[in-house]
Structure 1
Amino acid sequence: MDIDVFATAHRLEWQRLDALIRRRRRLTGPEVDELVELYQRAATHLSTVRSSGQDPALTARLSGLVARGRSAVTGAHASAWGDVSGFFVRTFPAVLYRMRWWWIGSALLSLALGAGIAVWIMADPQVQAAIGPPEEIRAYVEHDFANYYVEHPGASFAAQVWTNNAWVSALALVLGVFGCLPTVYVLAQNAANLGVAGGLMFAHGKGDIFLGLIIPHGLLELTAVFVAAGVGIKLGWTLIAPGPRPRLQALAEEARAAMAVVLGLVVVLFVSGLIEGFVTGWVHITWLRIAIGVAAEALFLAYVFVLGRKAVHEGETGDIAHRPETAPVAG
């Protein structure tokens, strides 16, 4: 089959179908019948072009046209609220569950590094002295660490924390595509900062204050960072070892799923920011602060391992549902 002749012969039909789809809410009765007929023809044309394998670009264009035609004919268009609920009930938790071992591994390694640094600082006064002058360290453990959570109004502090954590998470995720190592660096730097703070506080007998102020918001906040880092490392590893899929196709599929993580983490970090801004420094009952943080983390993990597991078992991957089946490639 001469694909150019075929495309020329049916181009006007495809253009007419596209025009009817754009006007689908204002069609007359005869135009609706015409829409259905042209959609059926276009579906047949797509099958013919796809089986020939001669023109991936035309196949992709016809796939999009047929998908829009199907939506116009069946009226199967979800509401905006349906799209949002579907994202948070299926897409986002499915991606988190599917990539769980990547971010769980990131969490374990990061926490091990942070704990190791903390123990090193606690056990060696020379390391403590190298961090800063004794008077500065004393001020930090006696006042500055705790005052950090109350020195600004709750609303502005929550917004500041949200922005900062979103930036760290975005870096951890996006940089992963550059061979994993930049994300590992961001993760290690974050773990080192936590380890230094914990080491200094425990070394001066303030470990209870450290845990009482870190746990409420830190459980959910750090989990979000670990998720971003795990997904970023998965992106980088996909580029290195794509498996049976073509390298760019594999990267594109995982990157589309990663975008779902980016959008979902905005909400997770918003909740974490609210806890840090309005609970950590302002709820003075330690057990209540910690209980709020543990409850938030437990709800998040249940969300991932209940809804996410269910969605994955039903075939959800987090990729775009109606993407073109074939993308243009260099011949």
Structure 2
Amino acid sequence: MDLDAYVAEHGAEWRRLDELSRRRKLSAAEADELVALYQRAATHLSLIRSRSPDPILVARLSRLVLAGRNALTGSPTFSLAGVGRFFTHTFPLAVYRAWPWWCGVATVFTALTFGLMAYIVSNPQVAGYFVSDADIGRLVNQDFAGYYSEYMPQNSFLRVWTHNALITGVCLASGVAFLPVFYFLFQDALNVGLIGGVMIAYGRADVFFGLIVPHGLLELTAVYIGAGVGLRIGWSWVAPGPLRTRGRALAETALEGMLVALGLVAVLLVSGVLEGFLTPSPLPYIVKDFIGFLVWAAFLVYVFVLGRRAQLEGHSTTVPGEAADALPAA
């Protein structure tokens, strides 16, 4: 393909498409012209990509085609109503649809964590295989409690929020490959089980549960949701169902996973606030644990009540304007 000749032949059409795409109002004739030019530009882009993929020209045409499609379908706009709908319908529905997956993950790894704790309590010497006696002494007497007051509350909140969001995102993204997410969850269960077992074995169960429960219930639930949704995405290409191709099943489930990931950022923000401000507060352990339990229970009620209601009412997790199909090329 002679690119110079091709650009000379169709350059006027592309300039006209760019001009029409920028206009706020179009007459009926101009709208028809825009549709025709958009279809032809999409065809031109496809031909150039397949026969002579010049990166500069491809980028230019891609921008023109995208601008043309936005002019035809309307660009998505931010609105508070859309944000409200996300948190009242879309996010709880996406989490609710995946509940067998994340509830299963939570059950298995919570049981594993407490099993490891019980084993360490019954066999305290096992902890010595992982940490030295000096480290155990520091952990029990100062490090565990000191960890939550090491930084200013606002700094601690931001640090744990970003860290937990990263861990949850990794669990969700790695679920498509199955084995990595189990590795990450096992590492987490081993860490919590080992520390909890050591604290309980040395008579500091009140400190351990008093400091980890206020934020840990919500935080670990968010991680388990991310892992469960990730595994659901992975399973969608293994067993897409009778009415979907593997590609379509993976795309649809991954889209829901992205929505869940977005919502979990807000959930982990709440758990970060609890860890940064509530956990190190001077309130009695029982009060802090009760507040953490109430927030966790409220989140579960939110997911199952609003999610189930959204499903019964026939709501969808599809984002308006998302992945719009291109118009047929002429």
Name the TM-score, length of structure 2 as normaliser.
0.78
Residues 172 and 232, structure 1, Cα contact 8 Å, conserved in 2: yes
2:213 counterpart residue number: 215
Structure 1's unaligned 5+ residue stretches are 1-11, 46-61
1:278 counterpart residue number: 277
Number of matched pairs: 289
Aligned residue for 1:251, secondary structure, equals helix
Structure 2's unaligned 5+ residue stretches are 1-11, 40-64
1:202 counterpart residue number: 200
1:23 counterpart residue number: 23
Aligned residue for 1:231, secondary structure, equals helix
2:59 counterpart residue number: none
Counterpart of 2:97, as a letter, is R
> Is 1:141 matched with 2:140?
yes
Residues 127 and 194, structure 2, Cα contact 8 Å, conserved in 1: no
Alpha-carbon displacement from aligned partner over 1:282-324 (angstroms, at most 9, x marks no partner): 2332222112211211221121111111112222342333345
What is the deviation of 1:68? Answer: 5.9
Residues 17 and 35, structure 1, Cα contact 8 Å, conserved in 2: no
1:184 counterpart residue number: 182
2:238 counterpart residue number: 240
Name the TM-score, length of structure 1 as normaliser.
0.78
What is the deviation of 1:190? Answer: 1.0
Residues 110 and 189, structure 2, Cα contact 8 Å, conserved in 1: yes
Residues 124 and 198, structure 2, Cα contact 8 Å, conserved in 1: no
1:117 counterpart residue number: 116
Residues 98 and 317, structure 1, Cα contact 8 Å, conserved in 2: no
Counterpart of 2:215, as a letter, is H
Residues 67 and 322, structure 1, Cα contact 8 Å, conserved in 2: no
Rounded to whole Å, the distance in 1 between the matches of 2:247 and 2:33 is: 34
After TM superposition, the structure 1 stretch with the greater mean CA deviation from structure 2, 250-259 or 125-134, is: 125-134
Aligned residue for 2:203, secondary structure, equals coil
Rounded to whole Å, the distance in 1 between the matches of 2:170 and 2:96 is: 21
Rounded to whole Å, the distance in 2 between the matches of 1:91 and 1:151 is: 38
Rounded to whole Å, the distance in 2 between the matches of 1:241 and 1:273 is: 36
What is the deviation of 1:280? Answer: 0.2
Counterpart of 2:23, as a letter, is R
Rounded to whole Å, the distance in 2 between the matches of 1:201 and 1:295 is: 25
2:48 counterpart residue number: none
1:224 counterpart residue number: 222
Aligned residue for 1:132, secondary structure, equals coil
1:59 counterpart residue number: none
Residues 220 and 297, structure 1, Cα contact 8 Å, conserved in 2: yes
Alpha-carbon displacement from aligned partner over 1:2-59 (angstroms, at most 9, x marks no partner): xxxxxxxxxx99x9899656423xx3xxx455577789x99xx9xxxxxxxxxxxxxx
Q: 1:253 to 1:68 in 2, by over 3 A?
A: farther
Residue pairs, 1:1-331, within 5 angstroms: 22-24=22-24, 27=25, 31-34=26-29, 69=72, 79-178=78-177, 180-244=178-242, 245-324=244-323
Percentage of identical aligned residues: 42
Alpha-carbon displacement from aligned partner over 1:224-248 (angstroms, at most 9, x marks no partner): 1001000111111112222221111
